[in-house]
A and B are shown apart, each in its own frame.
Chain A
Amino acid sequence: MSKPMRDFTRGELEWAPWITPVDADAASEEQRQALKITPSNRAVGAYALVLAHDPASLAERSPLYNGIMFGTRGLPRADRELGAVATSQVNGCAYCASVHAKRFVELSKRPDVIDRLYAEGLQALLDPRHKAVCDFSVKLARDPVAMKEGDLAPLRAQGLTDLEILDLVHAVAMFSWANRLMQSLGEPVPG
């Protein structure tokens, strides 16, 4: 880690915008349509209403997010959430890390994995599958151009198929996107 992690608790965090959200009652038809499909989380209200200032990008981003994080088959959802947590830690996005750590625990029933990540950082010795998913996610989130063929080997050794690896790549890419929105347009606050 290049810097200490800030406040990555598994407690509740809310997100407070730095730009006045669209007033839902005064939204244009295009904004209302873009707001119809949204990723479900506690901050979706303020976050989606901020993104609705540019409705065309929001209208595509929400179904893209859902396809990547909830698409059937392929990589188990818990692993996609772990990729999201690792990416959010690299970027220092406390809000996303908190929300997706909680989702990972709900899906995997493995709070110990998150406890170790928080206590010991990303170098924490996880079981081989979690370690392979985390290590790959960290490298891809941090410096995509530096990645080498050999970086896939630990995932292959855990039996991940090409589709499962692509799903993980998409999850890391999606949080390389989501973190930057959350971090530039507002900040986490205690819930």
Chain B
Amino acid sequence: MSPTPTADVRDVMDELAGLAPDSRLGQLRRQRPDVVRHLQRSDEAIFTPRNDGGLSAAERVAAALRIAVLLRDDRLQEHYRARAIEHDGAQLAASAADPSSAPREPRWQTILGHVDRLTSDPDSARREHIDALLASGLSPQAVIALSQLVAYVNFQARVRAGLRLLGSQP
């Protein structure tokens, strides 16, 4: 487990919202220290887990970039493009951002289908989609990790938007 973020450490949500920890909004966030702490640790659990269950770091970041594209969130796209380069996953990320260039590999297509469905129309999720993920070779752990990831990036986009609005008014 990486060190717990403290009041003066800039975390991922600060970076995404363009905040300094000691700014007005940085301090507002820190009135909810449990939320700040467990949000940062969630990011680590989702993108840099000690045991990835077979869902690679490059796949995780590429899936996240796809969500940022679907949500039309430029800053979030920039964030995951940069992470894709760190994880040596630039090619996979490029394919996620432009579905027409995605590898026709069934496992990756099934992952992208899950990402799209769950981001844009979660009510259309069905049992057969989980069965397809398992059939394409994902472990139960990888399926859960993927759903957590899609849900988490959707969370990030909402908090980022909320902080943007709060930053626009005194």
What residues of chain A have their CB less than 8 Å away from a CB belonging to chain B? 3, 6, 18-20, 50-51, 53-54, 56-57, 59-61, 63-64, 66-68, 71, 74, 91-93, 140-141, 143-145, 147-149, 151-152, 156, 162-163, 165-170, 172-174, 176-181, 183-185, 187
Q: CB of B10 within 8 A of chain A?
A: no
**Contacts known (A54-B145, A173-B159); A180 close to B150, Cβ less than 8 A:** yes
Interface string of B13-57 (1 = CB under 8 A from A): 000000000000000110110110011011001100111010000
Q: Tell me if B29 and A176 are in contact (CB < 8 A).
A: no
Chain B residue numbers with a CB within 8 Å of A92 are: 122-123
Chain B residue numbers with a CB within 8 Å of A140 are: 158, 161-162
Chain B residue numbers with a CB within 8 Å of A166 are: 28-29, 31-32, 162-163, 166
Interface string of B139-170 (1 = CB under 8 A from A): 11101110110111011111111111110110
Chain B residue numbers with a CB within 8 Å of A156 are: 169
Interface residue from A56, A151, A174 paired with B165 (Cβ < 8 Å): A151
A187 to B117 alpha-carbon distance, docked (Å): 16
Give min CB distance, A183 to chain B, whole Å: 4
Q: CB of B118 within 8 A of chain A?
A: yes
Chain B residue numbers with a CB within 8 Å of A176 are: 151, 154-155, 158
A173 to B73 alpha-carbon distance, docked (Å): 15
Q: Tell me if A187 and B127 are in contact (CB < 8 A).
A: yes
Q: Tell me if B35 and A64 are in contact (CB < 8 A).
A: yes
Q: Tell me if A145 and B32 are in contact (CB < 8 A).
A: no
A177 to B147 alpha-carbon distance, docked (Å): 9
Q: Which 5 A-B pairs have the closest CB atoms?
A: A169-B162, A92-B123, A67-B34, A144-B161, A173-B158
Give min CB distance, B89 to chain A, whole Å: 20
**Chain B residue with minimal CB distance to A20?**
B140
Give min CB distance, B11 to chain A, whole Å: 13
Q: Tell me if A162 and B28 are in contact (CB < 8 A).
A: yes
Chain A residue numbers with a CB within 8 Å of B130 are: 18-19, 184-185
**Chain A residue with minimal CB distance to B119?**
A180
A125 to B140 alpha-carbon distance, docked (Å): 44
A151 to B158 alpha-carbon distance, docked (Å): 14
Q: CB of B125 within 8 A of chain A?
A: yes
Q: CB of B83 within 8 A of chain A?
A: no
Give min CB distance, A165 to chain B, whole Å: 6
Q: Tell me if B161 and A145 are in contact (CB < 8 A).
A: yes
**Contacts known (A144-B71, A149-B165, A176-B155); A56 close to B51, Cβ less than 8 A:** yes
**Chain B residue with minimal CB distance to A68?**
B35
Interface string of B53-72 (1 = CB under 8 A from A): 10000000000000000011
Q: Tell me if A149 and B168 are in contact (CB < 8 A).
A: yes
